[in-house]
Structure 1
């Protein structure tokens, strides 16, 4: 085999990157390049295949592959000799990652990170995998190099065929005729309920990927579980859907997460997923998007667990317990994110790593920051140690099963999880349940003080527009929904507004009307569809929480630009990214996963905007309908994979309504009315606030109903705090009495 020497030998250039993930690899002996036009040109000139490695900074198995292979001089020598090696941060360049992940899934039946792709200099893939052990990876490198040397034409043909196949399945095609009624007639919501019922783990909570109900791994996957379950628990869908059963499935999952090791009992927040059925053993990375979505899910089910609707005392006590659980989880996660993931400038960082050194100078290992030796608990907790160890399932020889510790990094260590209830521990130690709660609570403070002395996991301190949009929604809804008894509530609205200020100041180009996808020591790549969609959703939530119409007006502007950049004029729906000659397939990404898809979030945004900017009602409704039809076959055949889009259909079937309040935010009656409105779960509702003391009214130019009310205010005809509901094209009479408002809104 030979390699070209016409171009100077490549060197590792990642030290110039701003991506935390790429910077993790800047000292590898591999001559890593970034995904740029110049790199691609070099590969073409050298006539070498490209090895593309995609991952993210908090990815445990990405670290394993790096330590075993990319830090190895011999492996690096082979990579550098026969390949042009490119590193991609999949969070900064999901457009690149998405193309090759689609190829990986199509050829192997699965996917994940690290993603390892071998492709031609023309960026056409011909072999793919994920993590490879070192010996196998070395062998694979040589086999691919030999194949390129001996039968390059086969590699080129395979790559070209792969790209053509992906273009065929990318979703960009002629419009599909049909109607929303045809999609609804297939009962996607009922199908989702039936699927979740089959996949629900009735023992430990959560949902499996199939097979045994009590098996791992388990993910929160809120857009595919908690979001549809909330609608199924609230709406009258059909005789086949049991509202209470839907609520119970969600609560079982929330309780499993709260009690498990996936929940960080000491510092708050949740890990990305659990490898086991019991939610005990997590992959320890903490992602911002998980925190944001799980808070919203918990808040929804707090509202849906209403003790005042109970039929008897037993049911009332259970609902009250469920409600407190949900509020506790939401507050716990918010406390963590506001303390550990919020940047001083207002944006939220992306993630914390899974790995950290177990001791000073030691090699990093998974979960080292979070796990405990039983003797360390004895040392920190003294006379309280035995009780706390019983509560948290701590064993002298460790509580992590070998099957969940492949590298033996947690041998003899313990993951803290709620192994026993407060009552059970109380009986065991001759104490009251309240005593046990107090001991556990105080011990958590002491254990956190000890844990804070350890070296923290690495922080991915890039700020993503999309994930900050999710967090904006979370903070806005928490500011409206959390009870005043949770001190963290008071921090939520200011933190939400700080996100908007950060994005507008640092990541929004007013002259180009263009968002950046990320920020770290400056702007990153241009924004993608999910950046616009998630931020618009967050702005609409913040508008409803704050009453400040500037947020709704910016959301309207961003929606216009999203339509300009990403709308598919040929086949309808939204492309996932802007056009780029080096991203060979411009794909659509409508399927929900760990995050809701940009398509599904946009569908909800369009429905809400059609009410807020009602003068353009037909335009938004048409855009939404065309988008639904673009994924109509998928919604008919596999609605659970499009769960959040299906939620939008459920909201449409239920019927949207506007709740309009006229009143100053400083008026106590306005506050009381808002509390009543926000006390129920109503995702099909848009709240519009008109403050008579704060003109001008920008929405008055965009909404005829608001304009007529503003005209009345200016004419002195609306001089009291009032509430009215508009639905089905007409508005009801103003209601000024609080009890009458409760009846109108169906509040118990």
Structure 2
């Protein structure tokens, strides 16, 4: 066992028995490199990363490779999900040097943590124009021994170049209507009208962009925006990227048709997509959207919920195929013969037609990824339900993919928002309770009585890594959603504590936001990225949460901070809207007000509950809702709101102006649709 045996990270623990003398990221590791006069190998990955597993098996478990590493390098292993700041800084260098990035990320550093040679996956033997990993190690070893001064100059230049990159957004104004229209036009040009989604293969779920398009449709009645959402959501729901038996989405599709996924299932994808489908149902009443939202919520609770009632990070793509081989997708794919074994010949033929299973297969070795061709209404629904139930039961007997059970604060925040809203929309109090339980875990374990966050926990024990901006932003988003659904103002209070920390420790003088706090560990560059990746950027997520909190509380400093932060969205809206979707969604809310709804009345009263539900179902972008007894000051939005002639009432305010109260749910619904 090497030093990683003491880690909390499941990814690092996977490497604890490697013959490589791994170090975790630490000051001690770089001191050791300086003492020995050797460079540092930095290897960054994550638990459910397929190619990380491949490189580990091929190279890090190999005695000869390990000996070469141990003699000539200090090897440092980082879980990118624990340390997104370390990952971001060196990924920026990798992308600048090579034009691409990915995981595993392989970077060679000086003992001062300055990068000088970069790559991602390296094979054990030369392949497809790539050198072998051992050739790379020998090359770096020789360069370090024979041209160390040159290596130092290269490293110094890279660090200076990184330091010279800045985002000059001081004084920028938030987006205006024409900026959001320009973003819509650019997205329309990039939209795949045949298959849904944007651009070609590999195709990722565009969750943040879909949220923007739904809000834009709600504000402007743009049918083009709604059509892009409905086409994409239907294509994903019918494709192999969606688990047709157990619910939940895989990370991405390797093709442009959504057929063959990269099978890992991430909490953040499912949280974001659950919310998108729930919002699509809210906008259109789509039965498909309702089913996918609920199935995805149920998947998260069933498959990712931990014993401590938080949510685990991911399920692996790979699993044992039953013959001792660890194979990607083995848990999920089917052959006609496997269908027949479970269902018998007649039902197997029906299942093959329904799920698109062919003799040739759509995946590897004649297996097929289950899809849902447009056969709705052509096959007996009860028969299909029985077939699905039997296939799912049979699949449960297969060796299961591994689960990364660390709890990441940011991703749990996204899950809390999705489960709270989905539970409220579809009268599923169990989902609201699951959201509440996860929020309670974050307060008890990740906040630990402070206004600061731990990034991760495992088995109810907080990790040692500090929260980054996305943690503060997404947890605040989750708490604010929970406050609106439950009427419990304490969740808004917790969000306020975290957002105050954002204003004090993550904000620059010009209103821009940094990914790490001003008192966090100093790296070669303080990361600052406003663009969305697999999750919303911390920057724009914070802007959205600040705006919602300001609407609930009337706080001018939080609103001003949100407006300043959204300046970067104006700069990027027309050029790169696919990478600033969450910011565009927040900008839609700002342009609409956002609308503030105060529902007053006893929650024991059916009329109060109906007004509250109507408010939650309002589609106006970024609408915030408070519900409570008359005279309640738990949420400032409720202050000085009396009953209407003794009846529960709803007050709608916008742009610092309030309309007359109403006790009529139908009238309230219309007010939340008006442009």
Aligned-pair CA distance for 1:622 = 1.9
Aligned-pair CA distance for 1:631 = 5.8
SS in 1 for 2:640: helix
Query: How far apart in 1 are the matches of 2:106 and 2:192?
Result: 33
Query: How far apart in 2 are the matches of 1:738 and 1:255?
Result: 31
* Mean CA deviation greater in 67-76 or 289-298: 67-76
* Conservation of the 8 A alpha-carbon contact between 1:32 and 1:85: yes
Relative distance call for 1:580 and 1:685 in structure 2 (3 A) is: closer
Relative distance call for 1:743 and 1:193 in structure 2 (3 A) is: closer
Query: How far apart in 2 are the matches of 1:557 and 1:632?
Result: 28
Determine whether 1:453 maps to 2:397.
Answer: yes
Aligned-pair CA distance for 1:661 = 0.9
Relative distance call for 1:369 and 1:737 in structure 2 (3 A) is: closer
Query: How far apart in 1 are the matches of 2:308 and 2:161?
Result: 45
Determine whether 1:593 maps to 2:533.
Answer: yes
Aligned-pair CA distance for 1:682 = 2.3
After superposing on structure 2, the runs of 4+ consecutive aligned residues of structure 1 that deviate more than 6 Å are none
Measured against aligned partners, the alpha-carbon deviations of 1:487-507 in whole angstroms (never above 9, x if no partner) come to: xx2311111110111111212
Aligned match of 1:723: 650
Q: What is the correspondence of 1:200-211 to structure 2 with a 5 Å cutoff?
A: 200-208=191-199
* Conservation of the 8 A alpha-carbon contact between 1:392 and 1:420: no
Relative distance call for 1:330 and 1:453 in structure 2 (3 A) is: same
Aligned match of 1:416: 370
Relative distance call for 1:17 and 1:170 in structure 2 (3 A) is: farther
Query: How far apart in 2 are the matches of 1:743 and 1:448?
Result: 43
For residue 469 of structure 1, the aligned residue among 413, 427, 447 is 413
Aligned-pair CA distance for 1:444 = 1.2
SS in 2 for 1:388: helix
Q: What is the correspondence of 1:484-503 to structure 2 with a 5 Å cutoff?
A: 484=427, 489-503=428-442
* Mean CA deviation greater in 599-608 or 626-635: 626-635
Relative distance call for 1:291 and 1:92 in structure 2 (3 A) is: same
* Conservation of the 8 A alpha-carbon contact between 1:221 and 1:593: no
Aligned-pair CA distance for 1:255 = 1.1
Aligned match of 2:639: 707
For residue 332 of structure 1, the aligned residue among 270, 292, 295 is 295
Aligned match of 2:245: 266
* Conservation of the 8 A alpha-carbon contact between 1:189 and 1:639: no
Query: How far apart in 2 are the matches of 1:262 and 1:333?
Result: 12
Aligned length: 665
Aligned match of 1:164: 160
* Conservation of the 8 A alpha-carbon contact between 2:172 and 2:568: no
Aligned match of 1:623: 561
Query: How far apart in 2 are the matches of 1:412 and 1:636?
Result: 44
* Mean CA deviation greater in 81-90 or 69-78: 69-78
For residue 57 of structure 2, the aligned residue among 46, 67, 86 is 67
Determine whether 1:299 maps to 2:284.
Answer: no
Query: How far apart in 2 are the matches of 1:566 and 1:502?
Result: 24
Question: Which consecutive unaligned segments of at least 5 residues does structure 2 have?
Answer: 126-131
Aligned-pair CA distance for 1:632 = 4.8
SS in 1 for 2:566: helix
For residue 10 of structure 2, the aligned residue among 20, 26, 34 is 20
Relative distance call for 1:31 and 1:742 in structure 2 (3 A) is: closer
Aligned-pair CA distance for 1:33 = 0.9
Aligned-pair CA distance for 1:635 = 4.2
For residue 216 of structure 2, the aligned residue among 232, 245, 259 is 232
Query: How far apart in 2 are the matches of 1:43 and 1:356?
Result: 37
Relative distance call for 1:450 and 1:475 in structure 2 (3 A) is: same
Aligned match of 1:430: none
Measured against aligned partners, the alpha-carbon deviations of 1:602-653 in whole angstroms (never above 9, x if no partner) come to: 1111212222221x32x12221222223565334643432221122222222
Aligned-pair CA distance for 1:127 = 1.3
Aligned-pair CA distance for 1:194 = 2.0
For residue 690 of structure 1, the aligned residue among 628, 649, 656 is 628
Query: How far apart in 1 are the matches of 2:147 and 2:446?
Result: 47
Query: How far apart in 1 are the matches of 2:669 and 2:569?
Result: 38
* Mean CA deviation greater in 671-680 or 362-371: 671-680
For residue 243 of structure 1, the aligned residue among 218, 222, 244 is 222
Aligned match of 2:79: 89
Q: What is the correspondence of 1:36-435 to structure 2 with a 5 Å cutoff?
A: 36-135=26-125, 136-171=132-167, 176-180=170-174, 183-184=175-176, 187-208=178-199, 215-223=200-208, 225-236=209-220, 243-306=222-285, 323-359=286-322, 362-382=324-344, 383-400=346-363, 410-423=364-377, 426=378, 433=379, 435=380
Query: How far apart in 1 are the matches of 2:202 and 2:53?
Result: 20
Aligned match of 1:609: 549
Aligned-pair CA distance for 1:698 = 3.1
Query: How far apart in 2 are the matches of 1:330 and 1:562?
Result: 31
Relative distance call for 1:227 and 1:742 in structure 2 (3 A) is: closer
Aligned match of 2:598: 660
SS in 1 for 2:43: strand
Q: Which entry has the higher C-alpha Rg, 1 or 2?
A: 1
Aligned-pair CA distance for 1:718 = 6.8
For residue 513 of structure 2, the aligned residue among 574, 599, 614 is 574
Q: What is the correspondence of 1:524-543 to structure 2 with a 5 Å cutoff?
A: 524=463, 525-543=465-483
SS in 2 for 1:708: coil
* Conservation of the 8 A alpha-carbon contact between 1:68 and 1:133: yes
Aligned-pair CA distance for 1:688 = 1.6
TM-score (norm 2): 0.94
Relative distance call for 1:456 and 1:229 in structure 2 (3 A) is: same
Query: How far apart in 1 are the matches of 2:588 and 2:163?
Result: 31
Aligned match of 1:646: 584
Aligned-pair CA distance for 1:411 = 1.1
* Conservation of the 8 A alpha-carbon contact between 2:219 and 2:621: no
TM-score (norm 1): 0.85
Query: How far apart in 1 are the matches of 2:591 and 2:2?
Result: 55
SS in 2 for 1:75: helix
